[in-house]
Structure 1
Amino acid sequence: MAVPASKAELLAAIDLTFDRLMADLARTPLERVDETTLPGHAAGTLMSPADLVAYLIGWNELVLKWLDRDDRGQPVDFPETGFGWNQLGSLAGKFYADYRALDWPQRLERLTLAKARLIETISARSDAELYGRPWYDKWTKGRMIQFNTSSPYANARGRIRKWLKT
């Protein structure tokens, strides 16, 4: 899939990759969702399918936080307060812990709701806002959204499909 360069392409990429991911997550046996046998987001670690979904919820909700803060004229602390870009493995661990109390159906519902909120907020924005100028470093707002939504959905789908085959 080509890198989105417009609002319409971004929305299509998010919808397509999300729908494909959810179809594969639906095939995950409930008795295996907490099985810690998937390669983790930090080198040498393992995670469960439930952790993988928690990771996606974390990033989706973080993107929503970025957009909300930006809309209110507040500074955005990329990637997250207390974490640098060189600490993404630790941030992944935080996401796993943040959603540990949610069971599998609740995690899938929370991810679905976060994705719906993203679609809503992206739909309310113009192509100029999303792709007209850099937002973080050299990256546009649309590209930063894509980096943390449709790209991780595709990555997670590849991980879960490989795991389901084992």
Structure 2
Amino acid sequence: MQEYKSKEELIAEIKKTADAFIMEFDSIEEADKDKILEGVDRSPAQMIAYQLGWMNLLMGWDRDELAGKEVVTPAAGYKWNRLGGLYESFYRQYEDCTLCGLRGLYRDCVAALIQWLELFSEEDLFGQEIRTWASSTPSKWPIWKWVHINTVAPFKTFRSKVRKWKKLL
């Protein structure tokens, strides 16, 4: 897994990969946003909804913990070993959005995520057991790792899925 030396390095990588991912959708027609093609497991709209879902979960876990609420990961009613239903909930949440609307929501969400990250000190972002939600799994990942695995990593892998989807269209 990619490592980061600082908060600024993590944020720069998020910006770079987030922009590269969403630009892949510039050439996709609105009429094609819900097409699932053989060899690619999600439609363009689902790919963006997936990203929105995870970014909002991350920030929501932290917001809930800071508000003194019980944080349920990954989300109420879902288990880590059965995430398909959670993904389906992301798709349903955004199914009425246009591709243009999804792209706008995505850009807004990335901006909110970066603002949220700016609030962390280096120690809080890279330290162990800073937040209960981040320490809730046996791996006890620091916050940066949760952020990376739910932003930079899928931004890169989904970018290749979008490219494959466009070739198959």
Q: Does TM, scored on the shorter chain, surpass 0.5? A: yes
Tell me, which stretches of 5 or more residues in structure 1 are unaligned?
41-45
| Alpha-carbon shift at residue 38 of structure 1 (Å) | 6.0
* RMSD value, Cα: 1.8
Question: Quick one: percent identity of the two aligned structures?
Answer: 29
Corresponding residue for residue 50 of structure 1: 45
* Runs of 4+ in structure 1 over 6 Å off: none
Q: Does the CA contact (< 8 Å) of 1:58 and 1:95 recur in 2?
A: yes
Corresponding residue for residue 17 of structure 1: 17
Corresponding residue for residue 74 of structure 1: 69
Count of residue pairs the alignment pairs up: 161
| Alpha-carbon shift at residue 31 of structure 1 (Å) | 2.7
Corresponding residue for residue 150 of structure 2: 148
Q: Does the CA contact (< 8 Å) of 1:132 and 1:140 recur in 2?
A: yes
Are residues 1:34 and 2:34 paired? yes
Task: Report 1:81-92 matches (<5 A).
Answer: 81-92=76-87
TM-score w.r.t. length of structure 2: 0.87
Q: Does the CA contact (< 8 Å) of 2:30 and 2:98 recur in 1?
A: no
Corresponding residue for residue 43 of structure 1: none
Tell me, which stretches of 5 or more residues in structure 2 are unaligned?
none
Give the match's secondary structure for 1:28: coil
The residue type equivalent to 1:113 in the other structure is D
**What do residues 142-161 of structure 1 show as CA deviations (whole Å, max 9, x unaligned)?**
11111111111111101101
Corresponding residue for residue 120 of structure 1: 115
Q: Which has the higher strand share?
A: 1
Corresponding residue for residue 8 of structure 2: 8
| Alpha-carbon shift at residue 5 of structure 1 (Å) | 4.6
| Alpha-carbon shift at residue 63 of structure 1 (Å) | 1.1
Q: Does the CA contact (< 8 Å) of 2:4 and 2:10 recur in 1?
A: yes
Q: Does the CA contact (< 8 Å) of 1:131 and 1:141 recur in 2?
A: yes
**What do residues 18-62 of structure 1 show as CA deviations (whole Å, max 9, x unaligned)?**
01112212122333212122656xxxxx43111111111111111
1:107 to 102, 105, 110: 102
In structure 2, how many angstroms separate the alpha carbons of the residues matched to 1:49 and 1:38?
13
The residue type equivalent to 1:103 in the other structure is T
**What do residues 55-104 of structure 1 show as CA deviations (whole Å, max 9, x unaligned)?**
11111111110121122233321111111111111111111111111111
